[in-house]
Structure 1
Amino acid sequence: MAVPFSDETSLRWALLAFEFLIAFALIYNSQNQPFPRPSFRFGWLLVLLASLILIGQAAPRPMTVYAHLIMLSGVGGFGLVAGVYQLAQTQRDVLVAPYAGMLFCVGVVGLMVSTWDDLSKIEQWAGFLTIVVLGGGETWLIFRGLLIGKLPRAWSQAGMVALMQGRLTGKNGAIECFEKGWDADEEHLNPMAYVALHRIHTFLGQHEEAEIWKEYLEREGGESAVASEYIRAIHDALADLDSEAAQRLPQFTEEE
């Protein structure tokens, strides 16, 4: 009985299937991000590269597994650097880093395995330790990004963007974004989200919902816990949408 992926042809198809799987996972899950563009673009980049390799399979001399692994390492490394920046610095995306890390790990580990017999004992031990470090780092990225990844600040920013664009309801509308824009670890974001939700529901004439969010706001210290410039920006955005409906909003003064 043949061992799965023991020949180069089977391994090439397995790597292609892996790339398409990662690409479509990124594209599909990007819609659940406050800013879907980074993961969406990286997913389509992978689709493009995998499609080119797929077309090349019909050539007399298709891309070798070794070259394929080098490409995976390069693309994965690029995505890993960009993804970690998004995850740790801008906090706008939690998908690119772990998925790119998978590509990078498969590429690097595959290159090590393909040259394992040519390595000395010391190089093999160094390679083994590298694999352990890569596995630990990827495990952390999966837990940090995919399992417990929260982007309250990004959701709050996305809520303001949606508000400025007039998208108050629906998928990734201002209401949905602000409802995700609070966090127990970043308590300063909570009153900002609550005051925005109170104003939006008041603007829409949904007074029961507005009262609920007003109660939450009062628990966080009221409107005094929110910068007046932020409240002014919300009022101005809603007034630009409908000046008549904006008259339902409470009177705003700079002392708020």
Structure 2
Amino acid sequence: MGPFSDDATLVWVLLGLLSLIGLLLVRLSRQQPFPEPSFRYGATLLVIAALLAMGTAAPRPLGVDGLLALLSVLGAFGVLAGLTHIVRTRRDVIVAPLSGFLLCVGIGGLMARTWSSLSTAEQWVDFLALVLLGIGQTYLVFRGLLIGKLPLAWSQAGMVALQRGALSGERGAIACFERGWATDEPHLNPMAYLALQRIHAALDQPQQAGEWEASLVSSGGEGAVAPAWIEAVESAILHVVPDARQRWPNREEA
């Protein structure tokens, strides 16, 4: 395979795509409540891309067909793992749609390279498969990248930050709880509002605490929040600000 042949160029284009998806996953992982899934998968793709790039200098490097098959496998794995996070754990929304691009390129490329050798019926089957693949990828992009919100996961991340004692900062409890509410899941909103009210009150920030308390009242008040959640939030805050309780409302009187 000559250095300027079509296959050689295509190999580098595919390796560039693999690296780009890996970089996007690593970059966007910081915008997820739990960055570990997307960061780990993105780092794995970057390592694989680097190894394959070094392998192009080998006597028998991986060809285009092999690389397309590998992209299909990596994409399929990422889509399945990403869908698990979207539907079940609800901790990540970017692994599935970005992996879907690898799957589409891999399968589409393999079909394109064998298209001329297929019968008319087989070409129609491949065409329908590509249409279904495109519809599925459109759904993943829409569901994950465009409307994907993870209010429950952000509240969970906020609780983790509270237990670590990180109240402020980019990954602190305040930043997480501020993203822990959503209009389409109103039952989660009081949990975030109460946590924010307690944190700001503990930090002696009455204006912010009052704003979040008003939001809490408008969404049902403390009665809409499970007592176990209130106790967990207050207990975590008290480990950081021991005298915070005196600035909180008396729940027994309420």
Q: Is residue 2:195 matched to residue 1:196?
A: yes
Give the match for residue 69 of structure 1: 68
Between the aligned partners of 2:62 and 2:220, the Cα distance in structure 1 is 62
Between the aligned partners of 1:102 and 1:244, the Cα distance in structure 2 is 52
Give the match for residue 170 of structure 2: 171
TM-score normalized by the length of structure 2: 0.95
Quote how far apart the aligned CAs of 1:241 are: 1.5
CA contact (8 A) 1:33 1:93 kept: yes
Tell which deviates more after alignment, 113-122 or 192-201: 113-122
**Cα deviation digits, residues 86-106 of structure 1 (max 9, x gap):** 111111100000011111111
Give the match for residue 40 of structure 1: 39
**Cα deviation digits, residues 41-80 of structure 1 (max 9, x gap):** 0000100110110000111221100000111011111111
Gaps spanning 5+ residues in structure 1: where?
A: none
Quote how far apart the aligned CAs of 1:221 are: 1.5
CA contact (8 A) 1:190 1:220 kept: yes
Matches within 5 A, 1:54-93: 54-93=53-92
Number of paired residues? 251
CA contact (8 A) 1:232 1:252 kept: no
User: Which 4+ stretches in 1 moved above 2 angstroms?
Assistant: 244-253
RMSD over aligned Cα atoms: 1.4
Q: Is residue 2:162 matched to residue 1:158?
A: no
Between the aligned partners of 2:94 and 2:129, the Cα distance in structure 1 is 23
Matches within 5 A, 1:165-244: 165-244=164-243
Between the aligned partners of 1:172 and 1:104, the Cα distance in structure 2 is 32
Between the aligned partners of 1:91 and 1:6, the Cα distance in structure 2 is 45
Give the match for residue 135 of structure 1: 134
Gaps spanning 5+ residues in structure 2: where?
A: none
| Paired amino acid for 2:61 | P
Give the match for residue 119 of structure 2: 120
| Paired amino acid for 1:131 | L
Between the aligned partners of 1:151 and 1:37, the Cα distance in structure 2 is 15
Quote how far apart the aligned CAs of 1:231 are: 0.6
| Paired amino acid for 1:70 | A
Quote how far apart the aligned CAs of 1:191 are: 0.8
Between the aligned partners of 1:107 and 1:47, the Cα distance in structure 2 is 17
Between the aligned partners of 1:107 and 1:246, the Cα distance in structure 2 is 58
| Paired amino acid for 1:137 | G
Quote how far apart the aligned CAs of 1:6 are: 7.5
Quote how far apart the aligned CAs of 1:246 are: 4.0
| Paired amino acid for 1:222 | G
**Cα deviation digits, residues 193-239 of structure 1 (max 9, x gap):** 11000000001011100000011111112111111111111111111
Between the aligned partners of 1:214 and 1:247, the Cα distance in structure 2 is 16
CA contact (8 A) 1:238 1:246 kept: no
Between the aligned partners of 1:150 and 1:244, the Cα distance in structure 2 is 35
Between the aligned partners of 2:227 and 2:244, the Cα distance in structure 1 is 21
Between the aligned partners of 1:219 and 1:64, the Cα distance in structure 2 is 61
CA contact (8 A) 1:183 1:189 kept: yes
Give the match for residue 94 of structure 1: 93
Taking only the aligned residue pairs, the percentage that are identical comes to: 53
Q: 1:132 to 1:6 in 2, by over 3 A?
A: farther
TM-score normalized by the length of structure 1: 0.95
